[in-house]
Structure formats: C-alpha cells, structure tokens
Structure 1
C-alpha cells in the first residue's frame, strides 16, 4: 500500500514493493570509469566487484491502467 491507498488520477492506487538487489560490475569496463575508487574494491573469483542496494518500486495496483514504462 502506498499513500494510504489514495488514487492517483486515472491510474488509481499504487502498491510499494521493497527489496534488496545484489549486483556485480566489471571495474575495468569503460562505463564504470566515473566510479571513484572502484579499482580498490575487492573482486570476486570472476574479477567483478559485488554490492547490494535497497530497491523501492511503485506499481499501479491495476497494471492495465499504468503507462507501461
């Protein structure tokens, strides 16, 4: 339940999904060049840096009324 079940326009009420995601990135990949000190982080057996993050998603209760993005 999000916002005490208050409806948002034609979409209606939303539900909040909370979780934790576990990820791994290649610290040598060009896309990671801007991450400060990533090269100093410990690597797993595949040479990747592992980390976890909290995830919060807001989903329309009736998915057919959402914008599908």
Structure 2
C-alpha cells in the first residue's frame, strides 16, 4: 500500500491522526496532515483504510 496526501485539500480535522497515529501527524504550524509512513507495514493497513474513509476532505489517497 502506498499513501498519497493532498495537503492543499486537507482541512486539518485530524481524523487521520486519531485513526492511524503511527502513519499520520498534524503539522504544528498549520494543522495540516503530515505523512510519516508513505508505505506502511501490513499491520497498519486497516487503520490507514479507516483514516481514508473518515477524512472529511478526501485528502488521503491509497494505492495498492
């Protein structure tokens, strides 16, 4: 799995961080998403998928 985030689309809701804190973080300056692991380990895939689904702005894109 490869993750792509669109910081311009992000609204800083932080739902991704709550769903997958090992993969996403919020930037301290602007509150927007920061991607910590663009290709997370298999055990994180479920949490990342959840983060994509609950992102209110659709800023997270997953690729197999």
Instruction: Assess same fold via TM > 0.5.
Output: no
Pick the structure with more strand per residue: 1
Greater Rg, structure 1 or structure 2? 1
TM-score tier after normalising by the smaller chain length: under 0.3
Pick the structure with more helix per residue: 2
**TM-score w.r.t. length of structure 2:** 0.24
